[in-house]
Chains A and B, each alone.
Chain A
Amino acid sequence: MPCRAFHGQLANPKGKTAKLLSDYVCILVDDLTGVDIGLFEFDPDSTLYCFILNADEQIYMRYGGRDDESAETFLNEDSLHIALERGLEMHEQYNKGELEKTERPAAKFPRDYPEIAKDEIKKGKCVHCHHIGQARTLLLQSQDKLDKQKDLWVYPDIKRLGIELDPKKGLEVENTDGAAKKAGIKKRDEVIKLEGKQVRTYGDMQQLLHEHPADSETLKLTVKRKDEEIDVELKLEELWRVTKIERRAGTHALEPFPEFWGKELDEKEKKKIGAKEDDFACEVTKFWVKTNAQNAGMKVGDIVFEVDGVRRSDYTSNPTLWIRLNYKPGDTVTVKVLRAGKTLEFSYIVKAKPW
């Protein structure tokens, strides 16, 4: 379901959604300028993200989260109903003093990022979610603190743990594989805790997964199986945090600039040129300004399939991202391209930015 359509359903709810939302005060925010993003921290590359909380700003749960396939995978009326019903139950518990209060995280605002302060805020423009991810990367990069092996791999995909959920049923497991299967998680189990913390929605789970240390080798989950609560420990695989980060605004700011802009070929197009799904194969679409790659002889339409001998990687199938992740400004890059059936090779120095 397209996100705008889902928002449309929220804005003009019918039936059960309308009934449940009538028990809430509904707030819509489309400009993050004055928002405490320390309290409301979420995946900045979302298209819609919701929180259920109370007037004391105690957050009961999150609703949202995404995967590589779509920003809308986990947004649907059924899972929203589950979240809204649980939210009402938790509000009752809170009123009775049955819920422990959580400590408010340190406040943080978009203006704390110099890039946003000097652009969006100074110019009076709206601050959108993706600005936050981009500004974070730029800040770390400018302070020479960006760890490309860790800082960019945010909001992991639960499927990397070997857990496939039924998006309509909240955290009910639909299928298992890999680490989850080895740990004994079964179909129809419901994930209820991650590292001892309660999770009620996919959004809750993805946030805690995001906060889990990148270098950790294990992950503790608690699942509910019928009436029993079972603790399991997953042995995390090396690539558990890897997602397609080229879709993230933050990676567009990564230095160096690969000296060309490109579009990764799809599976069909790759097959046509004899490449496999995970192989590098990226068509040069533009140079925008005169770049070193263009000066070296590369042209729009060239298909880049190799970078310094590398043709595929577990981290990305996109050679432009590969260059951003593995080179520094001033390095020399040698790429191989296909042009009219012929293989050509070009070497050039990469700069920090296109200009």
Chain B
Amino acid sequence: MKRLAITTLLGLAAVVAFALSGPPETVQASGVEWITDYKAGISKAREENKPIFLEFRCVP
């Protein structure tokens, strides 16, 4: 019983960790995905061989 509870807890922790570590922070709207993690954006552009549109939003 104790082993089952530990296994369940570990399983849940793994699911939560996976959810939290999932894809880079993104904001998706109207089909265009805005990645807010610069390095993740660079990696994605390399993988997909796409150019990058990088926007600096300066409005405080």
Identify the A interface with B (CB < 8 A): 3-4, 7, 10-14, 18, 21-30, 32, 34-35, 40, 42, 44, 46-55, 57, 60, 84, 87-88, 90-91, 95, 126, 128-130
Across the interface, do B51 and A52 meet the contact criterion of CB distance under 8 Å? yes
User: A29 with B51: in contact, given A3-B59, A11-B27, A12-B30 (CB under 8 Å)?
Assistant: no
Give the Cβ gap from B34 to chain A, nearest Cβ, in Å.
Answer: 4
Closest CB pairs A-B (n = 3): A129-B58, A27-B41, A55-B46
**A94 and chain B: residue at smallest CB distance:** B51
List the A side residues contacting B41 at CB < 8 Å: 25-27
List the B side residues contacting A12 at CB < 8 Å: 29-30, 32
User: A11 with B51: in contact, given A40-B56, A48-B57, A48-B59 (CB under 8 Å)?
Assistant: no
Identify the B interface with A (CB < 8 A): 27, 29-36, 38, 41-46, 48-60
List the B side residues contacting A87 at CB < 8 Å: 51, 53
List the B side residues contacting A42 at CB < 8 Å: 56
User: A29 with B52: in contact, given A11-B34, A13-B30, A22-B31 (CB under 8 Å)?
Assistant: no
List the A side residues contacting B33 at CB < 8 Å: 26
Across the interface, do A25 and B45 meet the contact criterion of CB distance under 8 Å? yes
B35 partner, pick from A28, A30, A57, beta carbons under 8 A: A28
Using A25-B51, A88-B51 as known contacts, list a sample of 14 further A-B pairs with CB atoms less than 8 Å apart, ordered by residue number in A.
Answer: A7-B55, A11-B30, A12-B30, A21-B32, A22-B31, A27-B38, A28-B34, A40-B56, A44-B58, A48-B57, A55-B43, A91-B50, A95-B49, A129-B56
Across the interface, do A50 and B52 meet the contact criterion of CB distance under 8 Å? no
* Main DSSP-derived SS at the A contact region: mixed
Across the interface, do A11 and B32 meet the contact criterion of CB distance under 8 Å? yes
Cα distance A24–B58 in the bound complex, in angstroms: 21
List the A side residues contacting B58 at CB < 8 Å: 30, 44, 46-49, 128-130
List the A side residues contacting B46 at CB < 8 Å: 55
List the B side residues contacting A27 at CB < 8 Å: 34-36, 38, 41, 52-55
